[in-house]
Amino acid sequence: MTQQERKQRSKEKILAAAMAEFGTKDFDAVTMDGICFAHGISKGMMYHYYSNKDELFLLCVERTFQELRAHVERDMAHLSGEDTAAAVKDFFMIQECFFQLHPQQKLVFESAMLRPPKHLAAQIQALRAPMRRLNQEFIEGLIDKMPLRPDLKPEMVTRYLETIESLFQNMIVSYQGGHPAQDFHAMLETAGELLNMVLFGILRHADPA
């Protein structure tokens, strides 16, 4: 094994350990010493490559966004032939499928999006930018096919769906009374109910006089 390969292997080991810690604990509960102790990493090796937990957290966030974007980009290709409501639902659920497969990255994502350390917020938004552009492009394509209310502008609907997308998992849990779905099928059913109300509202339209 070359020196470069050993270096990369050491960095990947540290990143995996950091992902395990940030993927099971809130940001404030994670420490560099704790990562070293829990995963058999010497402090010398840790500090040779990474100077603080901010750096490690941002690496975990970057890896999560990169892998999530690749997953979404790959799976969203089949949505172009669906009707609008089904495409929106499946777009939201593609992300949930990723987090079902990668539960540690789910907490990293939620920490970055919903509870970001204030001093890292700008860096997190920069790391999120490619994922956000992908979402915006897809949502804008959907909006072109939507029969929008006459008082709504496309850019307003784009912001609305972006906001819903980033909060969707927490909305599902809250809608279920604070208890996560027991299986993915149950989550799909709940997502369908919730998105039906998100997209079409809850008030019956009055018949014209």
Which of 47, 129, 133, 144 has the alpha carbon at shortest distance from 87?
144
Of 17-26, 64-73, 124-133, 189-198, give the lowest mean pLDDT range.
189-198
The conformational region for residue 178 under phi > 0 = left, psi -120 to 50 = alpha, else beta, is left
Confidence bin at 88 (pLDDT 50/70/90): confident
Query: Whole-angstrom Cα distance, residue 88 to residue 18?
Result: 33
Q: Residue 69 and residue 98: Cα distance in Å, rounded?
A: 10
Q: Which residues contact 181 (CB under 8 A, 6 or more apart)?
A: 172, 187, 190
Rounded distance between C-alpha atoms, residue 177 and residue 60, angstroms: 30
CA distance 148 to 89: 17
Overall pTM surpassing 0.85 (yes/no): no
